[in-house]
Amino acid sequence: MKKKLIIGLFALGTLAMQAQEAPRERPAMDATAQTEKLSTELGLSEDQKSKVLSVLTEARQKRKEARANSNGDRAAMMAQIKEIEQNKDNQLKGILTDDQYKKYEELKAERKAQRGKN
């Protein structure tokens, strides 16, 4: 009995240490996967796909840089990321048709609602 208790406590300690070492992160889609998903959902042409991929790749890089350069200032980082997202949406608006952009906005709203539920 004593042996099982010690093994159990050791296992709990190991799990607790692993949980502290590796914070949970949402798996993020890369720009190529996002482009493919949007292509399927919005019916993008090949020309649109290449332009969307470029916009998404650039936005992803800028978000990564904003996080790296935040120096612990979360509010400033979030403001910068919000600006990056607005710029991305403005660029996409120029690439997509009106109907496609409307559908894109609907998809964004659905994702936002899903994040709120979790």
Name the CA radius of gyration of the chain, rounded.
21
Confidence (pLDDT) at 10: 62
Inform me whether the pLDDT recorded for 35 exceeds 90.
Answer: yes
Q: Which of 7-11, 39-43, 69-73 is most confident?
A: 39-43
Q: What is the pTM of this model?
A: 0.72
Amino acid identity for residue 50 in this structure: S
* pLDDT tens figures, 67-82: 998 888 999 999 999 9
* pLDDT tens figures, 87-107: 999 999 999 999 999 999 999
Query: CB 42: neighbour CB atoms within 10 A?
Result: 20
Domain ranges of the chain: 28-117
Query: CB 93: neighbour CB atoms within 10 A?
Result: 14
Q: Give the separation between CA 29 and CA 34, rounded to whole angstroms.
A: 6
